[in-house]
Amino acid sequence: MRGFSPYLRKIEDSRTMPLVARRKVAETWRDAVGRRAGLRAPSCLARFDALLGAGLDEGEAAYRVLAEEDLLWVVDEPGSAAPAAGASDEVPAV
């Protein structure tokens, strides 16, 4: 993997929390993007495929697409991850 590391985002209470893309053990990154994107899956998967075609590895492409849609998970302590503020499993189509 090419130097991929999660970015940090300032949360309202001024704590810095890492944001991560998650997938299930037997799930591909492409499937994880589609599942997390919900109704927006077709456009997210098209961007995911375009990033792969541009030479990014699957993990980084998934992170970038999910970050653009504000669908990353926030990690507030080791071993815990939850949807980032405003993110929902029921993502409406835009």
CB 15 within 8 A of CB 22: no
Per-residue pLDDT tens over the stretch 32-91: 999 999 999 999 999 999 999 999 999 999 999 999 998 988 877 666 666 665 555 554
Nearest CA among 92, 83, 77, 87 for reference residue 22: 83
Q: Is the pTM of this model over 0.75?
A: no
